[in-house]
Structure formats: C-alpha cells, structure tokens
Chains A and B, each alone.
Chain A
Amino acid sequence: MSVESVQYLPGKQPHARERRLTFRNVDRAGFDPSIECYLRDGGYEQLHKAVTMERQAIINEVKASGLRGRGGAGFPTGVKWGFIPPTNTKPVYLICNADESEPGTFKDRYIMHQDPHQLVEGMVISCFAVKASLAYIYIREEFPEAAKILEKALDEARAKNFLGKNILGSGYDLEIYIHRGAGAYICGEETGLIESLEGKRPYPRIKPPYFPAALGLYMCPTIVNNVESLCHVKHIIAMGGAEYAKLGTPNNTGTRILCVSGDVQRPGYFEVEVGKVTMGEVINDMCGGMKSGRTLKAIIPGGSSAKVLRADEKFKLKDGRELGIMDIPMDFDTMAACGSMAGSGGVIIMDDSRSMSWVLNNLNAFYAHESCGQCTPCREGSLWMKKISDRIVAGNASPSDVDELERLANNIEGRTICAFGEACSWPTQSFVQKFREEMKAGTKSEIEDRIVAGETELAAAGLVG
C-alpha cells in the first residue's frame, strides 16, 4: 500500500489519538469514490494477493487477526467463517450487512459514500475465502445515495475483472448484487435480513436450527458480516493477521469506529485502536468535553440497545480493577464487564439537562415501532413499555408504574426469538435500575389510589378479572 502522507479536508483532520484504517479515505483531500482514484492509492492490490493464497490461509489470517464483528455482537469473524459445514455441497452466500440502523450508529454510510471500493475489495476477498459464488449488499432503504455509489463501484470493478468471471485469472467467479432494504430496523438482524432478501417479511428465524453459516439464505450456508468488518479483511491481508492483532488490546484487536453523538462539544466519528482510549479521553480529548456549563449524566456506550451507564457509577471488575465511567477503555470485554456492551460503536452522551424518563420513552417509542411483531414477549411488551413511559413523561403515572416497567422488561429479556428482545428490554432495565428515583419523582402516588380504586370498582362490577 502506498505510504505517502494523507491530507484531509479542512476542519476534518482526524484527531491525534485516532488510528485511521477503514476510515483512512474518509474526508481525505483529493479522494473520490471512483475506481481510478482507488487504484492510484494501491486499491485492489490485496485482492491480487488474496487470489494467489490458499483459501484456508486467508481464513487463518482472519482468525489470527482476532477481528470481532463490528455489527453489534462482536463475534469473531474468522470463527464464524469456520462454521460453514466442511461437508457442504450447497452454494455458499455472503451478505454484507449495510442496514446500519441501530440508533446512534453512523459509520458504514461514510465508507459506502466515500470509499466504496474498499468495501468491494474486502467483500471479494472474503467471498473468495469462504467460496461464495454470489454475494449481496443489503443496504438500508434510507441510503439511496450510497446504493447508487455502490452500484457504480460494482460496475467499475466488474469492468476491471475484480468481479465477474475468472477474477484476475484465478478461475474464481463472483457476482455481487445490491439489495435495497425494506425500511425496518429488524432488517438488520441477520436472519430477518435473510428473510427479507428472500422477499418475505423480515421475521427473524429461530437459532437453532437456522444459524446462517449452516442454514442461511435459501437454506444454504451464508456468511453475514457488517460493512466495517468486511473492510477490515482487506487490511488484515495487507498487514497479516498477526501484525493486525498487535493493534488494539488482547482479544479486542484492531481499530474500530466510534460514533459519538449527544451533548458534547464536537460529536462525530473517530477510528481508534480498540481499548486504547478511555471513555474520558473520547469525551474530553476527542469530543472537546461536555457542552459548556453542563455535566455528564449518562452514557449509552454501544448503540441504543446497550445498557445505559450512570456518570457516577463505580465498576468493580472480576480482575480487581475498579473503574469510574471515564476510565472505561473503549473495548468489547471491559464494556461487557461493566454491564453494558460496545455494540455497534454508537456512543450517546447525555448531560444533566436530559430527563431520563424522556430519554427512555424516546427509546421505547423506537422499539415499539420497530418490533417485527413475530414473537409474543417483544411484540406485546415493547408497546406496553412505551405506553407506560408515555404516561410517566406526561406525569400520568404512579410510582409503581416505574417498577412495573422493570418487571415487564424482565419478562422479555432472554425469551424472544431474536436479540431484539434484549435490545428493547436492556434500555428499560438499565434506566429504571439506575435512575429509579428520578423517574419516580415525576410520578404521582395519588394516581395509584385512583387506578386501584377504579380497578376495584370495575372488579366489583364484574368487568375485569
């Protein structure tokens, strides 16, 4: 890869603590999405290299790199690729998950808008490695521009034989198609995505048995990876897995993009080595601190589904460390040990001007609207939670309604078909657990009596059980 120093657009200079890999060309001066520009910059050299490698060798490099999925779950990518049954005789598919819909997350879109060939190159290498003969980019419906750009990039790549028949003389054939999404959050859940791609409602499938790597698209082995994850594959080939693994921290290797939004001076995206910066450094150094005169109240660290962290919380970890919120390294494992998750990298910062009831209600409204409605706990529970938090925000709730919210969330978590069940119950559980007093402060205990009196009356009249 060329090593000339990279210039960025005015005002878009990456922060000194950043380590740009997948975002190297984002906001880069003189860089455009055309293949010519990409090729001038050493584009598709890694593909040239990859097609001369043994497939298993590529998978081994990805395993050695320690790359964990950037779509939300943080599952090791190389391990996932290894789940394709060795005895498989069916076609293998690869799907790039470009549905980017987790609130608080805005990274994949920049790659697709500004550096589409990086994604195409990463995908072709990955497809080659897992022997996929057909691949799809499932792109969020609300990204029409990115779809056009990618369409053009695919045409360009095809014209240069980076795609199509007998790629670069390797004897390997591959087609990639763009599929515009169906405008729903659940289309980002991998099995819902697959159903949607098959032309159906995006009803997630039960696992087992429908693990995509074994029974995915059209019941064939299917690898689903996030845009950012697939881009990293290119850099793993360039650096070698072992070298890549030196980036970041053990078991939390490489770089990842943090999408910071909310009440900081300079929200935005930052590509950092995983675990090499702390929450405090993100907020104070990279984002210029909180808005003036404001103090930190709470953080959702990994997209809207991640459990909220309270500013004054102390986290006692199993390994003996005791961390304040600002000390948490931005990685997968510590964030999980602190009771939340690094998720999709969407860091949402809230200051003392925010009402936690309002925030939770906002999240509940999102989840109630986005529940696919397939399974009972999430379908019925998500709207019920929203209705209760509606009343809390409107001052129409009793203190017991706040506890009721938590009870309800406990009835959803771990009991649904897909991880949306956790996604919608974790916010409620964590907000109530951590801000119970604040939320109850906005309720009225006299309403309790009114509700109970009303219920007693109805019961006396035989109208309710």
Chain B
Amino acid sequence: MSTTTVTDTNSTTAVAMVNVQINGTWHKFPKGTRMIEACRQVEAQVPHYCYHPKLSSPGNCRMCLVEMGMPPRPAAGTEPEKDAHGFAKIGWSPRPVIACANTVADGMGIRTEGKLSEECRRGVMELLLINHPLDCPICDQAGECRLQEFSVEHGNGESRFREEKVKKPKNVDIGPRIRLDDERCIMCSRCVRFTAEIADDPVLGFTERGSHTTLAVHPGKRLENNYSLNTVDICPVGALTANDFRFQMRVWFLKETKSICTKCGRGCNTEIGSREKEVFRQSPRENNDVNSTWMCDQGRLDFHFVNSEYRLTQPLIKVDGKHFAAAWKEAITKTADALNSAKPEEIAIIASARMTNEELYLVKSLARSLKVDQLDVVPRTGGADNYLRADDLNPNSNGVRTILGIEPGSKLPQIIENIRGGNVKVLLVFGENVMKAGLDAADLQKVNFIAQSHILANSTAEQSHVVLPSSSYAEKRGSMINVTGRLQRLNQAIESPGEAHDTWEILRDLILAATGSNGLHSVDDVFKQLAGEFEIFRGITLRGIGDQGIPILQTNESVPILVREAERKKQGIIVG
C-alpha cells in the first residue's frame, strides 16, 4: 500500500520541488537532490562505499545501484496513465542506476528494495570479497568495517570463488602516520580524492589495472600532510590504518564522547574514543559550521599527554625546598592564606586561554573579590594553514575577550615586568607554564608565593609553593568560544587520574577559602551565573549548547576548507 507524504525540507529559498516515489511512497524533494540523499531522508538506506558527501562522486564501487523508473512518454495525443495518487505511472528501467551521483527528477520512481536492487548489491558484494584476504580477525577496522556490515546484510554467506586470490602488497609504509594493506583495499578512491580535493596534496593514486589495481603513493612521495589521518577515517575498510591506533584496542570496547579539539582556535568537533581511564583515539565529528568532517593530524594526535606519566595526580606543597604530597584542603587553605596576606596590587594571576568559559568566569570572580587587577593569559598565534588550523593556537581566546574583558596578552608584559621588579608577592598560575612565557627561575624566586594549577609536571610547578593537579580537556565538561565566535561544549570522556580535580572545582574551593562566597554545585551552575552576567550568553544553558554549538559572536574569520566546500557544493560537484 502506498500513501502520499510530503517531506518537510525547511527550505526557504525557492527551489523547485519534485515528486519522487521511493519504495512505493511518494515524497517531495528539492530538485537536484541526489537519489541516495533522497532515500536516506526517508529512511531507505542505500549501502555505498565510494560515495562521500564531501568528495566528488566517481561512481566506482557500484554498491548503490538501485532500480529506477520514469513515466514513459505517452503516445501522441494521449494522456499518461495515472496511479491512485494522480501521479503518472512509472515505467521501470531494466537497467539499474547509481543512486550516489544521479539526481531525482519529477515523477521518478526508486526501489531500494526488490529483486533488481538486491541482486545488484549481492553481486557487487560477492565481487568485492573474492580477492579480499578475509583477515577480519586481525584487522583493526573490524567492528566498524563497511565491508563486514554490508556483507552481513547483502552478502551470499558462501563463496563460489574457486580460484587463487590476487596477491598484493601488505603493510606498506606510505607515510609517517599511516599503513596501507593493499589486499584489503576495495579501490573506492575516497582516500585518493581526499588528498587531491581537500588536502591539495595528490600523492595517492592507483597503479596496475584490472583486478591487479593497487593503491600506492606516487614515486618519491609520502602521505604526510597534516590532514593525512582523515583518509583513515573515510577508508570504508581496513586498508588504511593509523600507526597510532593500530592494534591498540578493539573498537567495540571504546566509549565515544562528543567533544571538541582544543589544540587551536578552530575547535574542530571530535569524538573521543576511550576505555576506562584511557583515551585511545580522537576522530573528527561532522560540523558544517566548523570543520566539515575533517581535523588536522596535530590536533587529532594531541591526546597522549592525557595519559602521560607526567600527569600531576596529587596536590603538592613545598616544605624546605622540597615538594610533599598534601591533602586538597591544606593546599587550598595555604593558597587562600597567601592571597589574603597580600595586598591586591601585590597579587598577579596568569590564567590560560585554554580554560573553559566556566573556569575563566571563576578566575574572574576570584580576581574580582580579591580586587586583583593583574590578570592576563598567555597568547599563542601563528598557526594558520589555509585549511582548518586557526592562527590563534589557543582554543578559547574569544572566551577570554568576552569574560575577562581583555585582549589576550595585553597585560602580560607589564605583569612580567612587575614580577621581575619584585613587585609581585603572590602569583597564581592556571594551566600555563610561565617559564615558557618569558619568565625564568630567577624572576620567580622574587615572588613570595606561587600556586600553580596544571595537569603536567613542568618547570613552573617546580618553582611553585603549592601545586594543584587539575583536569585535562578529556576529563571535563565546559564551554569555549572558537575563533569564528561559536560557543561549543567539551564533554567528559574519562575520570581524572589520582586526586586531580576538575579545574572549576579547584577555583570554586579557592574562592570559598579566600572569600567565603559559595553556592555553586555544578559546572552548569557556573554557566548559569555566567549567563546571568553576560548578555551574549543569555538564555543559553550549558546543556542547551548541544553537540553542534551556537554562534554567539560576530568575527571576521572564515574557514578556508568550508569556503572551498561551499563553492564545490554550489557547482554540484559535492553534496556538502
């Protein structure tokens, strides 16, 4: 039985709509919609390998073949025959078409189910598997392999292949971060297209021909650009694997947490793959206002410090020049006492543009209640690469501008000057190694009391009187504003190691100890206060930020990769 439903497309521009019948039901789609996308929208999934909405469509895997029909042209002078819904009857074509590259047309019929489509899929699956090594038990892709998934749904179960398989190179070193297993490659060319179309580094290509077709790097070239690991994500099988992740963990054991990368101001949306207290990998998560479906290798691999042996796991207090483990209460009290014993103008706070909005807000509250004016963060710039990486290498400079009300780094030279001149008695450092920001040991020796909150043991910690171990980005919830002014959320993937505390809690306890004010039970409460104070956050909750973020600031930044994708989308080369 077929019913007429109209698909809501929310389109405001005047795109012509066409009527398309999918598996017996009529729908409306904007003209130009690819058949595969139309089917997806009405939950008629079309299995595919080579198609990727962000890449050109060569139509090479043939997995998406479906049965298609159009109303036959009526004989001269006659009216077309109509179906029960008033649409012209469809004349089904005996020849299947690929759903990935063809667009819908008015009156078109598509059958993703039924004999022809199913036979095509079974045929392609069989042919993809005949020369495949079937080494799933030792393959890293197992568990997230399209070949596995589709052969369960569309395969034959039994092979009629009685010949010897084609032998191809295995374990090929094609670049510093990636291995290639040519026998597993299904020649979908996604990786080739990514390197050519997105990364502008066309180092991959095919050699040989027919069944002997072999993916390779061009002679003298390596796949080593800063976006190379995206090829591993889009490879539908286990042909490309990341050196960093291979053989580390079966993917079905990984817990996936939606978060963002904090390695630069872009704030690429990510998924953190963790098991128990360990992060095993990070991969990009689609956000078409931030990073499309990509991220840079530098950002992706920048998580190993989370599980590093240099993590600070206990509060430390220096006694007679040596650090001893202490209880949190003692460490906080000691710091609060130091703050209360100094005059406001003798206190300096160096915070970080890597802190979340919530943390920055508490830093501000602390400074405000102590009447401290010497407050800044350490700026980092020079990262821009015409792809995703932002010039600003701090993830939350816009949070600093908005919440602390300062341009990052504008007050830092004066603070350093004051420290050198011996005018700072108490120094609080959050998430920065000030020894890398222009200060040396002799400078720091002029300060009576230094407390540092950080995640890794470093030279500033060495000089500090109190060390407060805090949480890494993977261990906390909170928000940041990226370089394009988008408010985005971090989510907690793992627990902090040892006794390390969430940074906002450290700040809350410090404020409580130093000023006696209280009332914050969760990081959501911090955000609520923040939203009460700053106009641009009004009406937003931490939970309400969602997985895709909210634009809250106007900046002049554009994202080079997104600009180019928009152009290709306009030309109809990609779906976007």
Contacts and interface: CB of A to CB of B under 8 A. Distances in A.
A375 B120 CA distance: 13
B206 interface: yes
A464 B132 CA distance: 13
B62 interface: yes
Given A374-B60, A375-B59, A415-B62, A201 B210 contact: no
Contacts of B128: 376, 380
B505 to A, nearest CB: 54
A391 B159 CA distance: 18
Interface string A203-224: 1011011000000000000000
A297 interface: no
B123 A377 contact: yes
B58 A203 contact: yes
A201 B205 contact: yes
A373 B206 contact: yes
A373 B127 CA distance: 12
Contacts of B572: 209
Contacts of B158: 465
A119 B558 CA distance: 54
Interface in A356-385: 368-377, 379-384
A201 B206 contact: yes
Given A415-B96, A416-B62, A465-B159, A376 B186 contact: yes
A145 interface: no
B58 A373 contact: no
A415 B210 contact: no
A239 interface: no
Interface residues of B, number: 42
Contacts of A453: none
A64 interface: no
Interface residues of A, number: 36
A374 B120 contact: no
B211 A383 contact: yes
Contacts of A388: 162-163
B65 A415 contact: yes
A404 interface: yes
A370 B213 CA distance: 11
B295 to A, nearest CB: 29
A209 B57 CA distance: 10
A411 B127 contact: yes
Contact of B187 (A379, A383, A414, A464): A379
B122 to A, nearest CB: 9
A206 B101 contact: yes
A161 B52 CA distance: 50
Interface in B221-266: none
Contacts of A369: 209-210
B62 A377 contact: yes
B322 interface: no
A247 interface: no
Contacts of A152: none
A203 B187 CA distance: 12
A417 B58 CA distance: 9
Nearest to A421: B62
Interface in B193-216: 205-206, 208-213
A381 B163 contact: no
Nearest to A411: B123
A53 interface: no
A370 B211 contact: no
B102 interface: yes
B98 interface: yes
Given A209-B101, A404-B160, A379 B210 contact: yes
Contacts of A381: 127
Interface string B157-174: 111111110100000000
A20 to B, nearest CB: 39
A424 B128 CA distance: 18
B464 interface: no
Contacts of A387: 163-164
B95 interface: yes
A375 B123 contact: no
Contacts of A394: none
Given A376-B128, A380-B127, A371 B209 contact: yes
Q: Which of A206, A376, A451, A465 has the most C-beta atoms of chain B within 10 angstroms of its own C-beta?
A: A376
B18 interface: no
Nearest to A397: B162
Nearest to A416: B62
A284 B500 CA distance: 96
Nearest to A398: B162
A380 to B, nearest CB: 4
A373 B163 contact: no
Interface string B551-576: 00000000000000000000010000
Contacts of A464: 159
Contacts of A401: 162
A184 interface: yes
A414 B131 CA distance: 22
Interface of A: 184, 201, 203, 205-206, 208-209, 368-377, 379-384, 387-388, 391, 401, 404, 411, 414-417, 451, 464-465
11 contacts: A371-B209, A373-B212, A377-B62, A380-B130, A380-B131, A382-B210, A383-B210, A383-B212, A387-B164, A388-B163, A415-B96
Given A373-B211, A383-B212, A411-B127, 4 more contacts: A206-B98, A208-B101, A370-B210, A391-B163
Q: Which 7 residue pairs spanning A and B have beta carbons closest together?
A: A373-B213, A383-B211, A411-B123, A380-B127, A387-B163, A371-B210, A206-B59
